[in-house]
Structure 1
């Protein structure tokens, strides 16, 4: 066990910044969590393992180092795959009821330790504490949901065309699953995948994002405390430098039968190529560039509230957050004015542990530079800055509202992953749909309208996997989550999520006496 695991506190310093009049003061922020949940080593075959080297995990709000974590490489990844493969032949023999009970215990432990788990998210990703608590509730809910779905993996008895045969369709776990997750939801993106995999009878090897491994390791500790057998849930943290080699092992090893990835489309394409060599099952939840359309018939106040919820959650760092705002000419000025007022009234920048903070830092300085590049590009082509527009200390970005945006600007062509609202004016429904669908991504889309006919037309016409109608927040464990076009393959959550980890076996029982 690494020496840092025995510590319960680490002290960080941040020059606090607030939206509105700029203020600065020295503050000290402390990560104070249970020692047993602050893990810094890999978790393989039920044991904590070290690696030849470590990599730092830092608080993005302060730049201060939180921990040094084992930098697992291909050797540790292979050990984890082998452990998962061995455990699979034990875990798949557990009854659905037994797997359900263990997942429920894991859910109970996550709920019991929600404060500590939320603190880990806030300090390693920068997310405001109230959002981190929300993520832990969401994360635990996937474990609860799939603990229940474990007992509903029904097969089929199909009427046979022959009198001396019976046709049975059996559902069986695919085997070892590699789970590769992002930093923006470091707990929920794990449980949405792992909950389904374990419920189905699969075993997993998780590679968390290099920015946020502490959340994954805490989940591993709680899974062991819940009684989930050794080797069923493995975690191999690694640095950015070792990510390609570890990812290659997890996507090419012949003992792995399934790869589930959430992240960028560019990385997803690389992993798909790796997985193709051994024809693995894959699930891909990739990038988005969500349109947010406000029609003249919309309730403007509700549209503004929806925009605030959709855009500024996690400082705009979600794959389903609104990225391109299309507002019809009749209400364009009223919408932008009210949205600017809401931004002034509701958004406060600061360290995520501060109770008044609604906007934490972006994950790193490069993320902030990307947002600034999009702003500069838009302004150079005639966009007007109505709010914000500046990068502050470190990776803090002012929430920014741009008017007079056109489709030629980078902020409408690229996924931003930051607190930027570019507003495009349109005149007709057909024009809005043409702009919204002129994109190779198709994850989520939103629109606001009180015209029933228009609601049905637009919902069916939007080329996305998820549609929010008069609603800016649409994620829930009960519904499927996934996109079309280059936004991914497969669905997560809902009753369909577990199907991604199951094979259907046809059994023909012949020679029966008619």
Structure 2
């Protein structure tokens, strides 16, 4: 591996503490054949660390460990499970600077945003530590009066968790925490592009007291090859995936053979609707959050900006002014607002969509070019006057690009917003409370931000409708994705 000369002594020291193996049954082990993969810094293209590259046999060995530990973990007192998760939360706060820096190194997001992800990701540990002791059922007489109905909740069993590259910590905690709280063991497979944060987090879980076999980790460059045997194994009872809709469809097909419980958090094409009565400054501030957080690389990122024709000019001008003031650079540098995209393909994709929009008559208000420097950078961009067939309006952008279209009536805004196969999240800006309530009912999305560009919260159910997914993560609903309901009838007996 070529030596990375861009790393500081602090960064090199941190990377030296990140495990490089597979975590199985409480031990760090090498991959079968001692095969490896290299993780690189998207801001420089330079290597960060070489880690184990799991084979299908390694994946099944991880499931072996999870299955062997399942009965004991399910029988562990809820309070004990809760206290382990709470210790994990406390340890994460102590190590937050390490986690933030590690995420910035492997994913590219600015350090301030990485710190925000530590806070957000940690809240799932704290929330589900509290939910672990609140798993309950019900007891009561049946309508006929002939017996007692007992409804109880049991852990579904071993789970396979597949996380994406864009939120390396929060997506791991959002899946692992409810699974452990419910009494399930897990095999987690982070994305090939950003696995280091998960490896570091799994070590934290071990330090917090998670027993051997309860959490197992595989890292691999051949995801489908390694995942397929795990999903096909009858011992697996739950699959949770966050990623693209096309991959989600394939995983649903595979999971159908074993009739697995599935949670799918898939693609998005979020509408950002600004009505004529909106506070434009509030809408612009919301747009900066909804679009440019995580460099636009989020399923919740605003994708289609649907703005009333009477305020579209003001909104576009003010947004372009804010965008032009953003600082581009390596996320670890002070004052950086926009880091790199994850790889060269992401830059090519953003550039292709912008060029498509311009060729179809769009007007460029800001940005519009790749950044000529080391790494994978694209300028934050604002386009207006999009044609109806522009790719930006139908494809998930996953980059720092804003495309604005206009409308004149509420019905038109709703039609444009709902004109997509996706339904993850929507954003609405209006000062009319009645209209805001109408939008809650009329927009076909699983989540909505009303006069805000940031809605994610560990205490709230995260998820979409249509082809944006199945199930919910977070909130009181999140733990039920890892529980099965059992009904027992106890007949009345005569004394």
Secondary structure of 1:324's partner? strand
**Would the aligned equivalents of 2:15 and 2:49 in 1 still touch at CA under 8 Å?**
no
1:498 and 2:479 aligned: yes
2:412 is matched with: 431
Secondary structure of 1:256's partner? coil
Query: Among 462, 476, 484, which residue is 2:465 paired with?
Result: 484
1:24 is matched with: none
Aligned residue runs from structure 1 range 357-506, under 5 A: 357-392=336-371, 393=373, 394-506=375-487
**Would the aligned equivalents of 1:11 and 1:29 in 2 still touch at CA under 8 Å?**
no
**How many angstroms does 1:458 deviate by?**
1.6
User: Using the alignment, how far apart are the partners of 1:158 and 1:271 within structure 2?
Assistant: 39
**Would the aligned equivalents of 1:407 and 1:413 in 2 still touch at CA under 8 Å?**
no
CA RMSD of aligned residues (A): 1.4
**How many angstroms does 1:358 deviate by?**
0.9
**Would the aligned equivalents of 2:4 and 2:47 in 1 still touch at CA under 8 Å?**
no
2:68 is matched with: 86
1:147 and 2:126 aligned: no
The 1:370/1:314 distance shift into structure 2, 3 A limit, reads same
What do residues 376-409 of structure 1 show as CA deviations (whole Å, max 9, x unaligned)? 1000000011100001133100000001112210
**Would the aligned equivalents of 1:11 and 1:28 in 2 still touch at CA under 8 Å?**
no
Secondary structure of 2:460's partner? coil
1:220 is matched with: 202
1:123 is matched with: 105
2:278 is matched with: 298
Aligned residue runs from structure 1 range 261-340, under 5 A: 261-340=241-320
**Would the aligned equivalents of 1:11 and 1:30 in 2 still touch at CA under 8 Å?**
no
Gaps of 5+ in 1: 5-9, 14-26
User: Using the alignment, how far apart are the partners of 2:398 and 2:11 within structure 1?
Assistant: 26
**Would the aligned equivalents of 1:164 and 1:513 in 2 still touch at CA under 8 Å?**
no
Secondary structure of 2:75's partner? coil
**How many angstroms does 1:30 deviate by?**
5.8
User: Using the alignment, how far apart are the partners of 2:488 and 2:387 within structure 1?
Assistant: 58
**Would the aligned equivalents of 1:12 and 1:62 in 2 still touch at CA under 8 Å?**
no
**Would the aligned equivalents of 1:259 and 1:283 in 2 still touch at CA under 8 Å?**
yes
User: Using the alignment, how far apart are the partners of 1:447 and 1:70 within structure 2?
Assistant: 45
What do residues 405-445 of structure 1 show as CA deviations (whole Å, max 9, x unaligned)? 12210011100000000000111111111111010000000
**Would the aligned equivalents of 2:328 and 2:339 in 1 still touch at CA under 8 Å?**
yes
Secondary structure of 1:134's partner? helix
**Would the aligned equivalents of 2:306 and 2:413 in 1 still touch at CA under 8 Å?**
yes
Which stretch of the first structure deviates more once superposed, 169-178 or 427-436? 427-436
Gaps of 5+ in 2: none
1:259 is matched with: 239
2:150 is matched with: 168
User: Using the alignment, how far apart are the partners of 1:269 and 1:295 within structure 2?
Assistant: 35
User: Using the alignment, how far apart are the partners of 1:405 and 1:416 within structure 2?
Assistant: 14
User: Using the alignment, how far apart are the partners of 1:29 and 1:125 within structure 2?
Assistant: 19
Query: Among 179, 184, 200, which residue is 2:166 paired with?
Result: 184
Secondary structure of 2:71's partner? helix
- TM-score normalised according to structure 1 size: 0.93
What do residues 78-113 of structure 1 show as CA deviations (whole Å, max 9, x unaligned)? 000010001011101101101001111111111111
- TM-score normalised according to structure 2 size: 0.97
User: Using the alignment, how far apart are the partners of 1:340 and 1:155 within structure 2?
Assistant: 53
2:212 is matched with: 230
**Would the aligned equivalents of 1:158 and 1:169 in 2 still touch at CA under 8 Å?**
no
User: Using the alignment, how far apart are the partners of 2:320 and 2:393 within structure 1?
Assistant: 19
**Would the aligned equivalents of 1:96 and 1:151 in 2 still touch at CA under 8 Å?**
yes
What do residues 283-328 of structure 1 show as CA deviations (whole Å, max 9, x unaligned)? 0000000000111100000000000011000110010010000111
